Amino acid sequence: MSKEDMYDALMDHFGEWIFDFPKSETLKSMFKLRFTPEEAELLSQIPFLGHTLEQLTAKIDISIDKLKIMLDDFTNKGIIFRVERSSRTLYSLTDPLFVFYRTPSWDGEDNDFNRKMSPYLNKYFIDTFASDFMGHDTKGLRTIPINETIRDPRQVIPYEDVLKVVDNFEYYSVSACPCSLRHTLDPIFEDCKHDLERCLHFDTLGRYIVENGFGREITKEETLEILQKAADAGLVHGLSNTEKGPDTICNCCSCCCLFLESVVKMPGILPRGHQPSSYIREMDEEKCIGCGVCVRRCPMNALELKDKKVIFTPERCIGCGVCINKCPQDASCLEYRGENQDYPKNPRETAERFLKERGKEPMEVFKKNYWR
């Protein structure tokens, strides 16, 4: 197999999982920067579901000792996910979004690799990846509202209450925002003006991140402080799109976030960023003085100021509460939409929806990645 074939095999392998990852010259440049040809060849044989070393070596022509060294190294680079389950160590290949758009930049380092990779990431996303990644109903993140912006907090659904969600975790960590870093390190973009350290990860993922140097452990109280600071800065809380077992809260800016920047850059094509919350903005026109604070803060361009009057486009609203949080007149709030949003119940259902929306049969994909 030639070196080019090794890269092609891995690109094909990534494209068979939960996201479409179309080939392009930019993508090939990303692969060559991230992997050696030999690494690409090995990784193209690793399934996306967890397996032991013994199970992997039964199908891959490599000694168990050599495979362990390589997989542990890939784990340290955020390419392989290693986890302990029932006193067994399981290894799985992470998805391409994780490999390219998350782990390389979580440490927040301005280094040679990130400076070389960032322009490729931005170009590939805008030219190729965004239309499919954002073009389906199920998003990787769902909006979780700023609590104090909801008119009646007693009616907040538990899995949409950021305080209750945070209470359910046992382990807390924070990393740099990879979206902001890839913009800041790309000469054609302006530097992100927001604090870089604001991506929150929990429990199994949080421990993986800290163990491999992608972030640091924090307390629940520090987590809540970061969330409050992000809300005040006009950032959107984006939670893993599952009712049970979420592991991430991103604090997203519309200038850099994968989920939000594409909406700004492709108006009319991609109407929303995160999957919206079950709440929507309501305004008391008698209180509104047309100051424009909410218009400037809205990350979805759902508000417009005309003749000192705020014009609202409800179909663009994701129910985040960012526009409400700093209203000097308390002229608006979040109201229940009238029905709960249809979120996946657990991470498996999220993956199933991703696959179905891309024309793939989930059980066939899972079976291919389940060797036991």
List pLDDT tens digits, range 300-326.
Answer: 889 999 998 999 999 889 999 999 999
Q: Do 203 and 71 have their domain in common?
A: no
Q: Do 171 and 253 have their domain in common?
A: yes
Q: Which of the four pLDDT bands, split at 50, 70 and 90, describes residue 177?
A: very high
Q: Do 64 and 209 have their domain in common?
A: no
Mean pLDDT, rounded, for 157-164: 88
pLDDT of residue 24: 95
pLDDT of residue 39: 97
pTM value surpassing 0.95 = no
Domain range for 90: 3-126+348-368
| Statement: residue 224 has pLDDT above 90 | yes
Q: Do 191 and 259 have their domain in common?
A: yes
Query: Token pair for residue 146?
Result: 């700023």
| Statement: residue 112 has pLDDT above 90 | yes
| Statement: residue 229 has pLDDT above 70 | yes
pLDDT of residue 312: 94
> Phi and psi at residue 103, in whole multiples of 5°?
-65, -35
Q: Which of the four pLDDT bands, split at 50, 70 and 90, describes residue 100?
A: very high
Q: Do 54 and 91 have their domain in common?
A: yes
Q: Do 308 and 362 have their domain in common?
A: no
| Statement: residue 263 has pLDDT above 80 | no
Range with the poorest average pLDDT among 39-48, 84-93, 130-139: 130-139
pLDDT of residue 208: 97
| Statement: residue 266 has pLDDT above 70 | no
CB 91 within 8 A of CB 80: yes
Q: Do 353 and 230 have their domain in common?
A: no
Q: Which of the four pLDDT bands, split at 50, 70 and 90, describes residue 270?
A: low
| Statement: residue 131 has pLDDT above 90 | no
pLDDT of residue 205: 97
pLDDT of residue 245: 93
Distance CA 82, CA 78 (A): 10
Number of domains, the chain: 2
pLDDT of residue 267: 61
pLDDT of residue 301: 87
| Statement: residue 344 has pLDDT above 90 | yes
CB 240 within 8 A of CB 351: no
DSSP one-letter string for 175-244: EE-HHHHHHHTSTTSPPP-S-SEEEEEEHHHHHHHHHTTSSEEE-HHHHHHHHHHHHHTTPEEEEES-SS
Mean pLDDT, rounded, for 165-169: 95
Buried b (16+ CB within 10 A) or exposed e, 341-370: bebbeeeebbbbbbbeebebebeebbeebe
| Statement: residue 268 has pLDDT above 90 | no
Q: Which of the four pLDDT bands, split at 50, 70 and 90, describes residue 10?
A: very high
Best-predicted range by mean pLDDT among 149-158, 208-217, 338-347?
208-217
Q: Do 64 and 103 have their domain in common?
A: yes
Query: Token pair for residue 87?
Result: 């006193």
CB 125 within 8 A of CB 21: no
Q: Do 200 and 314 have their domain in common?
A: yes
Q: Do 253 and 275 have their domain in common?
A: yes
- The mean of the pLDDT values for the chain is 93
Q: Do 234 and 312 have their domain in common?
A: yes
pLDDT digits (tens, 9 = 90+) for 13-61: 999 999 999 999 999 999 999 999 999 999 999 999 999 999 999 999 9
> Phi and psi at residue 281, in whole multiples of 5°?
-70, 135
Mean pLDDT, rounded, for 90-106: 96
Query: Rounded to a whole number, what is the distance in angstroms from the first to the last CA of the chain?
Result: 28
Q: Do 191 and 49 have their domain in common?
A: no
Q: Which of the four pLDDT bands, split at 50, 70 and 90, describes residue 158?
A: confident
Tally Cβ neighbours within 10 Å of residue 17: 24
